[in-house]
Structure 1
Amino acid sequence: MQAPNTIMKELGYLGLIPFVVTALLAVADIPLFNLSGQQMFIAYSAVILSFLSGILWGNAIDHISHTLSRNALILSNLFVLLAWAAILQGHKHDLIAIALLALGYVAVWFAEKLIRQTEGEVNPKGYQTLRGRLTAGVIALHGLVMLS
């Protein structure tokens, strides 16, 4: 049986596959299921940004007595609203939607990092490195789709 740390890393990197596939569809201007690559990229990106916002929510609940907890709760909801706004803009304003999502990824990464540092969280080992790599990859793919 695999350790949760291993599963976390594998799922994290596997989560990049839909980003890569939809970015390639966007760059090549190939529709799939009657959707453009940009539309699919935006939808998946919004879902993952919302998922990451849930991590902030969970972290806030785990550290409810800390002053940053309130901010994390508020930020988690703001990031979900940002993802929703991107979906609503995506059908007419792809560039704006993708830029909003990219900004959301940077913001959620920074917020999570700040909270973990403030709380002295070091476990699971390698998590922050993993999050940094995944976020960098996701931001690069957003840039690629913005340029297409």
Structure 2
Amino acid sequence: MKTWKTLGYMGLIPFVLCLYLSGHEMFWGIDPKQAFIAYSAVILSFIAGTIWQVNGSRQNDKLKSKQQIISNLFSLIAFVSLLINPYVALAILTTSYLLHFLYEVRFVLQDELNPEYITMRFRLTLTVVLLHITAFIVWSN
């Protein structure tokens, strides 16, 4: 398996682990719910960088500037999710993952569609969204 695929799928492990451990109040002094949200915020901010195209592309400067601003907006949303109610954070992060995927496929990768990469991103996004929905349900009970 290609390194980027392996790393992509391995990135799901902290989500699953934190969700599993969220049945406990604390684990080694760490709140698993807060860890889940924090990891999610870090990953959202990380993938926001995929739309930050600064050099070598066929885009005009205006489009590049727009993508850089949108990239920063996703990172700021991720940061804000660390500061708010966990249930609201889950909803915002879930929505952000979906919007990021749609934006990336529609505007960023339109000229460079690698079916293997798009399939992986779809699977990862779907899994992350389902894990966030599961967290919301489990944490509400």
On whether the aligned pair clears a TM of 0.5, the verdict is: yes
Residue in 1 aligned with 2:60?
A: 65
User: Which consecutive residues of structure 1, in runs of 5 or more, have no partner in the other structure?
Assistant: none
| Structure 1: distance between partners of 2:91 and 2:125 | 14
User: Which consecutive residues of structure 2, in runs of 5 or more, have no partner in the other structure?
Assistant: none
Residue in 1 aligned with 2:76?
A: 81
- Consecutive aligned runs of 4 or more in structure 1 exceeding 2 Å deviation: 60-64, 66-71
Q: Aligned partner of 2:127: which letter?
A: G
Aligned to 1:19, what secondary structure does the other structure show? helix
Higher helix share: 1
Residue in 2 aligned with 1:121?
A: 112
Is 1:8 aligned with 2:4? yes
What TM-score do you get using the length of structure 1 for normalisation? 0.84
Note the alpha carbon deviations across 1:56-102, whole angstroms, 9 max, x for none.
113x644342754332111101000100000111xxx1100111111
Across the aligned residues of Structure 1 and Structure 2, the Cα RMSD in angstroms comes to 1.8
What TM-score do you get using the length of structure 2 for normalisation? 0.88
Q: Retained in 1: the 8 A contact 2:14–2:39?
A: yes
Residue in 1 aligned with 2:129?
A: 139
Aligned residues: 137
Deviation at 1:49, TM superposition (A): 0.3
Residue in 1 aligned with 2:18?
A: 22
| Structure 1: distance between partners of 2:108 and 2:49 | 15
| Structure 2: distance between partners of 1:43 and 1:53 | 15
